[in-house]
Amino acid sequence: MTMTLVAPTVADYEASADLAALLVRTTQDDALSLPAEQLRLSCKCAHCTRARFDGRFPDAFPGIAITEIGDLGYGLNISFSDGHNRGIYPKPYLLSLAGR
């Protein structure tokens, strides 16, 4: 008998009631919570990458909230209360941020 391991993928997602976290359910029924601040700090868009390179990227985003989530199929476009809406978070990247 051969056992095949299947990596979890994102099955469903939503913002928490207080908008302070992204709640993710995987295909393996794991329930994960990613804080909005962690997501904002982990943005890899060109704007944030350049700000990090130039030393202008903040160390924290206290009180940041998720304002919108767009599903692009392969990832999520997450908008934040500071007006930032350029970040695309591939679903495997989201799972890696959650330690999966």
Per the structure, how many domains does the chain have? 1
Q: What average pLDDT does the structure give for the chain? A: 92
Query: Span 30-51, mean pLDDT?
Result: 96
Domain assignment present for residue 1? The answer is no
Instruction: Identify the DSSP state of 55.
Output: T
Tell whether the model's pLDDT for residue 100 goes beyond 90: no
- Domain range for residue 70? 10-98
Taking only the tens place, the pLDDT of each residue in 5-22 is 567 788 899 999 999 999
Taking only the tens place, the pLDDT of each residue in 58-96 is 999 999 999 999 999 999 999 999 999 999 999 999 999
From CA 33, how far away is CA 55, in angstroms rounded?
29
Tell whether the model's pLDDT for residue 42 goes beyond 70: yes
Domain assignment present for residue 72? The answer is yes
Reduced to 3 states (helix: H, G, I; strand: E, B; else coil), residue 42 is coil
Domain assignment present for residue 3? The answer is no
